[in-house]
Amino acid sequence: MGRALIEAVVQDDAFALGAVFARSGSPLLGRDAGELAGLGHCGVAVTGDLESGIADFDVLIDFTLPEGTLRHAQTCARHGRPIVIGTTGFSAGQRMQLDEASRHIPLLLAPNMSVGVNLCLMLLETAARVLGDSVDIEVIEAHHRHKVDAPSGTALEMGRVVADALGRNLETCAVYGREGRTGPRPNGIIGFETIRAGDIVGEHTVMFAGAGERVEIAHKASSRMTFAHGALRAAAWIPGRPAGVYDMRDVLGLA
């Protein structure tokens, strides 16, 4: 995602690339960000010290790992910088730490920055309420072989939206994968299936399967630029907002 974000910023006249950060010890440190993204020299070198570069940007976009994101959010909170977070895989305790940071700054947390995915979330809520408990619900997601968390944050958010619409608790009704003699399907569960293969950018399908018919709501991303452009839309929206936690539905006016 880093290269896609750099490309999106450099190619959009509404933004200026102020700084690019990578983890300590990364072989990318010191490299020109534009050259890394295949855009030619841009004059912004990759650095590993967010604290020393805090004055170089107005909004931080973070697509890293949960531990790194927490450190970055805390640094932004100390210095009053808004942060847009696309990282997934947070534990409940880590989410609490993000909530604490959001007491001081506007913090946007979205498992998926795609406009299309967030439209799907609206459609899922409607479908769940209309179809109710008369159907079996499955969430199927596929990503590239290097993705480290499963199910994806987007899949979990889709499941949460459906569960909330049905008055269920996702933590107690979710079933993750199946193996062996599982017996008949219990009522009221939401199933999750995960695929990790090749260079799949991201695919999500929610299946509502009833007697004699099946409704599927699906989103397929063919380029990471979809997520990069969504992140820029969020970065343009968040400055000046009151401290608190936001998501892409706020950005898109869907909340």
Could you list the residues known to form a binding site for (S)-2,3,4,5-tetrahydrodipicolinate, using ranges. 144, 153-154
Q: How many CB atoms lie within 10 A of CB 108?
A: 27
The whole-angstrom separation of Cα 125 and Cα 147 is: 27
Catalytic member of 41, 104, 146, 147: 147
The pairing of strands 83-85 and 60-62 is: parallel
Q: How far is CA 93 from CA 34, 61, 176, 232, in A?
A: 36, 22, 21, 28
Active site residue 143: yes
Binding residues for NAD(+): 86-88, 110-113
Catalytic member of 41, 72, 79, 143: 143
Active site residue 147: yes
For the annotated catalytic residues, the residue numbers are 143, 147
